[in-house]
Amino acid sequence: MEGAKWVRGKSVEGGFNWKLGLRSMKFFDITPVEDELSQQSSLRFALNLLDFRRPPQHLHLFPMSSFHTIKGTRAWYTLSFVPISAKKTSVRYDLYTRGDECSHSDMLTERFDSLLVRFNQALEEYQEGAFIRALVSMSSDVELDGIDMQRTILERLQAHVKLEKSLGAEVFPAMRKGRNNARFEQAEQREFFSNRNTAL
């Protein structure tokens, strides 16, 4: 992005599965930071006129990264989840601003550092609670969100295997059928016969 300036990035290792990260963005709440920025701004009226108070935008770059703007500023951040193991994940944020807007960068980096630590703690606690709920649901008929999804995937996989067995061949998600173009077939035949004649 033209005029973009990287301000800071930080990684923290957390004791949770990386798949939990993007599904739990509610734990990475920057609303208090945005509110603090709007209260500090002496140019609040001018910013409103220039439409810098637009709502934040989010873009999830599936499956491990997301991109977010910070309301009331020309700053944005990325949040990335890098799996280390099944139960460990490295979470990283990178903060960027426009080259001419660095007045709040110190405050933003301080808030984001502490927010990242709290985010990791919340996800670790959430995963621990989810594990306990999963154990409870095995002994009772309580349904968890993730279990419904896993059952659906299993059912579709079993149906796919059944289809492959009935057809006697592998089935791919997007099967391509050959073209029935007469000119193409003629060209193939000519090439075949010309190669055959030169080989003799």
Regarding whether 127 and 68 lie in a shared domain, the answer is yes
200 in any annotated domain: no
On whether both 118 and 40 belong to a single domain, the answer is yes
Same domain, 93 and 147: no
DSSP letter, residue 174: S
66 and 152 belong to one structural domain: no
d(CA 139, CA 85) in angstroms, rounded, equals 28
- Give this prediction's pTM: 0.54
Question: Is 188 among the domain residues?
Answer: no
* Other Cβ atoms within 10 Å of 196 Cβ, number: 9
Query: Within a domain: residue 120?
Result: yes
pLDDT over 80 (residue 28): no
Dist CA 88 CA 168 (whole Å): 41
| pLDDT tens-place string over residues 49-65 | 444 444 556 665 666 88
Is 134 found in the same domain as 36? yes
Per residue in 103-122, pLDDT (tens digit) is 677 788 888 888 888 888 88
* H or E stretch at 133: helix 105-139
Counted domains in the chain = 2
pLDDT (0 to 100) of residue 38: 62
Q: Per-residue pLDDT for 135 more than 60?
A: no
Residue 192 falls inside a structural domain = no
Q: How many CB atoms lie within 10 A of CB 127?
A: 18
Q: What is the pLDDT of residue 23?
A: 67
Its sign, for the CA torsion 23, 10, 56, 39, is positive
Both 100 and 167 in one domain: the answer is no
Residues facing residue 96 across a β-bridge: 6, 76
Q: Quote the tokens at residue 88.
A: 């460990």
Residues 19 and 88 in one domain: yes
In a shared domain, residues 59 and 35? yes
Q: Is residue 83 part of a domain?
A: yes
Q: Residue 159: give the domain boundaries.
A: 142-171
Tokens 């980096």: give the residue: 109
